[in-house]
A = this chain, B = another copy of it.
Amino acid sequence: MKRGTSRDIRTANRYEVLRQIIAASPTSRQELAAATGLSLATVATLVGELLDLHMITEVGFEDSAGGRPRGLVAVNASGGALIGVDIAETYVHVELFDLALNVLARAAENMRPGESRPEQVVGHVAAAAGSVVAQAGVEAARVLGVGVSVPGQVDRATGVSAYAPNWDWHDVPLLDLLSEHIAYPLYLDNPLRAGAVAELWFGAARGHANAVVVNLGTGVGAGLVLGGGLHRGVSNSAGEWGHTTLVLDGRPCRCGNHGCVETYVGAPGIMQNLRELSPHSPLLHPDDQTATIDALAAGIAAQDPDAVGAVRETARYLGAGIANLVNLVNPEVVVLSSWVAARLGEPLLEEVREAVARHALQRPLAASRIVLSPIPTDPACLGAATFALEGALQSVGQRGVRRTAPARVRSRIAPAP
């Protein structure tokens, strides 16, 4: 049985202290103790560890009223670099971050329809990762790790994509394939968890023990933050809210079930909502999800009745599905994330809030807020980079334990030996 251990607590406290320093640099140990609820002694120990790792630095003193001057620390932005990789159905985004999680470089590769073999995808990732390291001019030895987000179900421990429905991948050893090109430590997970950890560290879930991050893209799912950390489930496949039944015997889903949430609120589902309301709407771009969602966004702004109707209908399904999360999980905050949420924005949010209020029980409804993600960039890249940061923090005192790529082939973006 997996229980919380003292080591888990220490790691969680280390995360919390670094999160707080990133959020409010410079800061003192006293402020950190007040903000985190940890004792000053615990904070001092954790700050010492982060100083040893060169993740933070001493930056002087502030006067405290009548007392001794207090030492100030700040995140050491140049103390390392982190790479986040977002592998999606139609593109690969790669971003390189400093330790304050500022983006230093970006690269994107588009994937053509049908380009779905693992080797093809890995080639795009390697090219984009090489590009960001070269662009940023970062010394290879300073890259602490590469986090990779891939859709579907992931075995984190082995770095295997167990099932990616968009490409029908089964048990693809993605990290082994990537390690032939990339010699940094590699961390694999999926966009649900990447989005959730990004919100937990840098977004709307920060400071909340219980939060749900609803990922609205081509695929749909929910990252669950429970008890202050990610809930992964027993086989790291928790959060498949997109494949929960909302309309029994409803629309067929690519997972084999009928009436899944995703078939009504994923980008193709939204296109279907529009098609059912207005089959010949000029907003509909039959082979282009992105163009259709953009047209809907523009249409709502212009009060186009097709656009208003389709967004309202989408919100009707989405509100019922989110009410299910509110009633079941009882979170403090529900965050709408990913590109569909970003593009449909406030008008979608307002309709969703009304729809959730029609379906949810009063007590959990009153306890929860529904917000748009405040993260301005690709949350899956940011979250994937955060996994690399967490990996580096977790390895304190147990070096060699974190998953390091075997680096069988030296690539052009490998660190110097």
Contact = CB atoms under 8 A, between A and B. Distances in A.
Interface of A: 1-6, 8-9, 12-13, 16, 37, 153, 162-163, 207-210, 222, 224, 226-228, 231-241, 243-248, 250, 255, 257, 317, 320-321, 323-324, 327-332, 358-359, 361-364, 366-368
26 contacts: A1-B37, A1-B209, A3-B13, A3-B37, A4-B4, A4-B8, A4-B12, A5-B9, A6-B6, A153-B363, A162-B363, A210-B233, A226-B227, A227-B231, A231-B329, A233-B329, A233-B331, A235-B363, A235-B367, A237-B330, A240-B327, A244-B324, A244-B327, A246-B246, A247-B247, A248-B317
The 5 closest A-B pairs by CB, nearest first: A233-B330, A238-B330, A244-B324, A240-B327, A235-B367
A237 B363 contact: yes
A281 to B, nearest CB: 23
A240 B327 CA distance: 5
Contact of A255 (B12, B233, B361): B361
A328 B362 contact: no
A73 B153 CA distance: 45
B359 A245 contact: yes
B367 A237 contact: yes
B1 A240 contact: no
Contacts of A234: 209-210, 330-332, 367-368
A368 to B, nearest CB: 7
A237 B361 contact: yes
Given A241-B328, A245-B320, A328-B328, A16 B3 contact: yes
